[in-house]
Structure 1
């Protein structure tokens, strides 16, 4: 508070908020029971609040209601977030961990506070006092504490709220044109981990309980907020893997005016993590869709983006004794010992470096092959992330050369990146450019996958090659000379050695005597280490027979079994290779012809708009169909056939002469529903 005069110390701290913590993993201090529906649909009676009473040492507690608002001129310097104590719900209540009550309308008028949070504090503190030991609930709708106007007719009350929100939306800037398009399929969405992540409110791994998206089995959110308006994107998919659009279903993909995870500088609306999203995109859904039959207002302001401009990323992987599969689809084996540049880009100063260490036979002696033991990365001036095997063969994550503890949180918002860890120790780093890095441990070696958006085309070099769709220049040296794609293993060894990390440019941490002696003071490429280039496969070797059963025809698996004498290592290699091939398959580009409306006085059969999909059209009784009864999405990205129209049978001849039929391929279709082109905000 005084620029460090009385406290001249500095440090770092990490922040996490609820939106990044999946249900079941969050530290559940308060559990709400039907709060969001209380007073609607004949839901009433007791509400029960529970908490972990050991979190507070007090014998008696107070329960407070807090509210959140954003006020002022939208998207300006005069736009402020307002977080305020409203009133105390209960005083001097025993700290038993549970409190049941029948809600009554608040004494003062708090109808302008749409949502908020409950706070539990020791009774010794005054109402609304800051800097107190506290337990907070999740945010939720505050309708349960409202007055008689809500309780007498909650549908009319919610309708009025919905219309008020709709009027406000008309005055706010259009954020839709700057958000990223959705992936075309569920497979793409789950594979593009550099730009999209699971929406825990609709997670196929958790049973697909999709309250806000009926009919969906899985949703993802764009990791990065949009550049100007800090908006978010949400994409939902049905059981067939097709994207659901709001033009077809209320369970469709809905973009967000406020990104659920917020965006720097965070303190300015609509960039407040979680809260801005609740204010503009969640509570409005309650008013329009859950509490009243006005969902068309919500869908008008939150129309789905289709996938016609979506371009999947390119993937490269390294695993086993290390085998490299490049962005352009070439594969080779490089068994150098040292630290190497796997990929670097002049586009964003992205650097991903890998360290290899000598493998061991099952009896503990050293084998003449290596494997990835650590990976370090940075983009522009972001934090540096390193993932490595510790001396006791546990996976460690280092943030700026210090070990990170994931025991209490799985998500971290860091400088220039997001960091995510799963319970099975799969580490994902998501940089602000949309590039993603995935690392997992597999049998003592690391398996690495790098995903790069297509803007990195012709902007990469390193062991993963030049990403440009051309394999002929994959083996490019630092001096831009190349060798043939049919180069021998010895020539490839020279190529790999050329990409050794230069002194002074290493991103790695050298915090043990072994790392100092072998990598910091030692050569970045150990020229004295000569690996096995051609392992011998002896038909009489009993291991070979077992290898055939484990590896089948996988060449990388067979290679690693022969060089390490370990079926386990070979099996991990086989699984990593399969995972890469499946990832590449999932990320294949998909052609979309875009959303198609049903004809007036008719209907359509089909909501899949990808290549080869067929849409059938049927007119209502008493109407005649003019145009194509069915159309197919073609490889050109346009629909076949004519625009269908449904006209009255009695006026067939006169109407036909006045009806202009245009080929769908010549229509200047807008990115979203044409009728919403001007008013969709």
Structure 2
């Protein structure tokens, strides 16, 4: 390096790096005004660099120049590599309805309820993910994951979001896991850095293209059952029976529908055929409703 620094008195050559957005580093030796001083001309190829090798400097360009500044891109990448692919833990989650009116009529979904102590923080971290009316899947799947559907003011689906750590009802530990492991990574990847595609690889978006409205279940005549999946069969049992039972992923009873049958009575007396005469429903610890 045999340039003539005296020819660039007002345009001193610099050694260092810049990110183009105001963050930079200049070699302190290159800033010294020692062109004619006793120190002589600065020749970096003759000086021991920070690599402990003569003339070789190396800088970590993806680290912030200020150690007190959080490197959100690094945090996003670390989270991305620590997370499994969503294809195995979002199994069985229902697709979001296309319309808010559909979600309101579909018992697979329920309006979201957040703990009052965490609601403001959750809404802030979600940003546009919660800008609207939010419905969530009524129950988590076997991996404790859930679906969240956000609708705009006109009732159309704005976005379907998949939460690995599902914030169900006001479950405190669940909401904390949701904040730390679902929402903070969203902040790192989508809000504070341009790596949103990484976030949605691990937290897949859902659209209503796979949605189908729930089937209708019927009991009619001498105990003809029409099931939710479209199957139909005849049952002639006599006594009390469980018609429908819905359990959570942990095995807890969520909904039970019981029925009682009796022999049909005609003008000529009892017959061998049976009919449903009474039902009782139980839902999440509420009182039984009998008919």
Band of TM-score, shorter chain:
0.3 to 0.5
What's the TM-score once normalised by structure 2's chain length? 0.48
TM-score calculated relative to the size of structure 1 = 0.23
Point out the structure with max Rg over C-alpha: 2
